[in-house]
Amino acid sequence: MLPLDLALFHAINAGATTAPMVIAAARWVSLDLPLAVGGGLLIYATLGNAAQRRALAIALAAMVLAWIAVQCLRQYAPVPRPAQLGVGMQWLEHGARAGFPSMHAAAAFALATAVALARMHRLAMLLGIVAVAMAWSRVSLGVHFPSDVIAGAVTGAIAAWIVHAQSAFAAGLLSPQTQGVNRRRRFSAYWCRPARPWARRR
């Protein structure tokens, strides 16, 4: 563990002198805010247009990819959580499983990045604030080190970029313009009429 990581953890982690309101806010962000965001996005998708629903579907795929990436990283780099090392104060109950990267941070940043890549700027700004608040709450409550949430944010952003790029590539292949070019190429390559033999002898 880097000394800077530990120093940042102690600076952010809520202690005995932290105001109860701050701890309650951190718990709400960590436990209840994801449900509120999910419900809000469901309503947004229901009332939105097809392009917005497609963007949210891509964001959901990015979150799934981020979840898979976090699970793989935790298998290959099982970094213990602060409680397992006897560091700081914990304000949430959690299992003794690896904490690097943070799953909460990865999902939150995957969602925010995917929406930003879809150019839904106002929603992306709101979800970006939620992602930062989520990262703060996980460290404040003592369940993650700052390096955990930073790695989670990077993992989520990369997952969103990969899904967005693949989706854009697939949309380009299926676009009417691309299919028209492919048809013209196929026609010119395989269906062109050969010149008449008697026309060559003239």
Contact (CB, 8 A) for 74 and 100: yes
Domain with 84 in it: 10-193
pLDDT digits (tens, 9 = 90+) for 93-119: 887 788 899 999 999 999 999 999 999
Whether 198 maps to a domain, the answer reads no
Whether 202 maps to a domain, the answer reads no
Whether 4 maps to a domain, the answer reads no
**Interatomic CA distance for residues 15 and 186, integer angstroms:** 69
Whether 159 maps to a domain, the answer reads yes
Contact (CB, 8 A) for 37 and 127: yes
Give me the number of domains the chain comprises.
Answer: 1
Whether 201 maps to a domain, the answer reads no
Mapping DSSP to helix (H, G, I), strand (E, B) and coil, where does residue 6 land? Answer: helix
Element (H, E) at 33: helix 33-47
Q: Where are any strands of DSSP class E within 7-141?
A: none
Encoded amino acid at 187, one letter: F
Whether 122 maps to a domain, the answer reads yes
**Interatomic CA distance for residues 30 and 61, integer angstroms:** 22
pLDDT digits (tens, 9 = 90+) for 48-88: 899 999 999 999 999 999 999 999 999 998 899 999 999 99
**Interatomic CA distance for residues 178 and 38, integer angstroms:** 36
**Torsion angle in degrees (nearest 10) through CA of 60, 61, 67, 71:** 170
Whether 200 maps to a domain, the answer reads no
Whether 3 maps to a domain, the answer reads no
Which of 158, 109, 101, 161 minimizes the C-alpha distance to 131?
109
**Interatomic CA distance for residues 44 and 120, integer angstroms:** 12
Q: How confident is the model at residue 165 (pLDDT cuts 50, 70, 90)?
A: very high
pTM strictly above 0.85:
no
**Interatomic CA distance for residues 106 and 67, integer angstroms:** 7
pLDDT at 11: 95
